Amino acid sequence: MTSPTNTAKTQHVTITINGKPVEADVEPRLLLVHFIREVAGLTGTHIGCDTTSCGACTVLVDGTPAKSCTLLAVQADGAAIATVEGLEQGGELHPVQEGFFQEHGLQCGFCTPGMMMTATALLARNPDPSEAEIRRAISGNLCRCTGYVNIVKSIQYAAKKINAAETAPVAAAVGAEVRQA
């Protein structure tokens, strides 16, 4: 990492995390998850395994969910990363966060950040997923506490909320056209 005793060659990287560039000289072997947690100091992204199986470390890399334990920080040089800390905007919870709160989609909270990032990416590409599509999307994220039923409901809640927010202005616009006609 950034240890002074480290004699390995380092490489300079600039990684934008939640809209904020973070620069550091890092060892080429430094995992992205350690960059996020220890260099950027954002500890909401967790580590649950060493075989890319559990998904607790899931972040979005240029909008695509990725397991940050299986990417090197140098591979993410120049990329835009989104983590759980970036979901809340202007003091308002993201619909996915709200869904997990309302539908009791979390217990110990350890898998939750990765699970929510996967859900966010799913809803960005498929705003109205079926239950089967939700289950497939989160199948790379393990949860030991909830049995997934309430996680599925949480994501359905978020989809509904996002769709309601998006259709509201559309309806207003359609209404305006009707009035003009």
Partner 1 sequence: MTTPAQTQIRGMGHSVKRKEDPRFLRGRGHYVDDIKLPGMLYMDIARSPYAHAKILNIDASKALALPGVLAVITGKDLDAAGLAWMPTLMSDKQMVLPVDRVVYQAQEVAAVIATDRYIAADAITLIDVEYEPLPPVVDPIKALEPDAPLVRPDREQKTNHIWHWEAGDAGKTDEAFNSAEVVVAQDLYIPRIHVSSIETCGCVASFDKVEGKLTVYMTTQAPHAIRTVFSLVSGIPEHKIRIISPDIGGGFGGKVPVYPGYVIASVASIQTGLPIKWIEDRSENLQADSFARDYHIHAELAAKRDGTMQALRVKTIADHGAFDAAANPSKFPAGLFSVITGSYALDAAHVEVDGVYTNKPSGGVAYRCSFRVTEAVHTIERMVDTLAQQLHMDPADIRMKNFIPPDAFPYKSATGWEYDSGNYPAALQKAMDKVGYAELRREQAEKRARGELMGIGISTFTEIVGAGPSNTFDILGIKMFDSAEIRVHPTGSAIVRIGVQTQGQGHETTFAQIVAEELGLPVENIAVEHGDTDTAPYGLGTYASRSTPTAGAATAVAARKIRDKAKKLAAHLLEASEDDIEWSDYKFQVKGVPSRSVTMQQVAFAAYTNHPQGMEAGLEAVDYYDPPNLTFPFGAYICVVDIDRGTGEVKIRRFVAIDDCGNVINPMIVEGQIHGGLTMGMAPALLEAITYDENGNIQQGNLMEYLLPTAMETPVWETDRTVTPSPHHPFGAKGVGESATVGAPPAIANAVVDALSHLGVTHLDIPITPWKVYAILQEHGATEV
Strand partners, 12: 25
Residue 28 contacts partner 1 per CB under 8 A: no
Can you tell me which of 17, 81, 106, 123 binds partner 1, judged by CB under 8 A? 106
The label of the residue with tokens 């809803």 reads 123
Closest distance of CB 8 from partner 1, Å = 9
Closest distance of CB 174 from partner 1, Å = 34
Question: Which CB sits closer to partner 1, 15 or 30?
Answer: 30
Residue 161 contacts partner 1 per CB under 8 A: no
Provide DSSP, 67-104.
Answer: ETTSSBGGGGTT-EEE-GGGT-BTTB--HHHHHHHHTT
Residue 44 contacts partner 1 per CB under 8 A: yes
Residue 68 contacts partner 1 per CB under 8 A: no
Question: Which CB sits closer to partner 1, 15 or 27?
Answer: 27
Closest distance of CB 19 from partner 1, Å = 15
The sheet with strand 64-67 has its strands ordered as 20-26, 11-17, 80-82, 58-61, 64-67
Residue 102 contacts partner 1 per CB under 8 A: yes
Provide DSSP, 19-63.
Answer: TEEEEEEE-TT-BHHHIIIIIS--TTS----SSS-S-TTEEEETT
Backbone angles phi, psi at 127, to 5 degrees: -70, -15
What is the contact surface with partner 1 in residues (CB under 8 A)? 1, 3-7, 27, 29-30, 37-38, 42-51, 53-54, 56, 83-85, 87-88, 93, 97, 100-102, 104, 106-113, 116, 134-136, 138-152
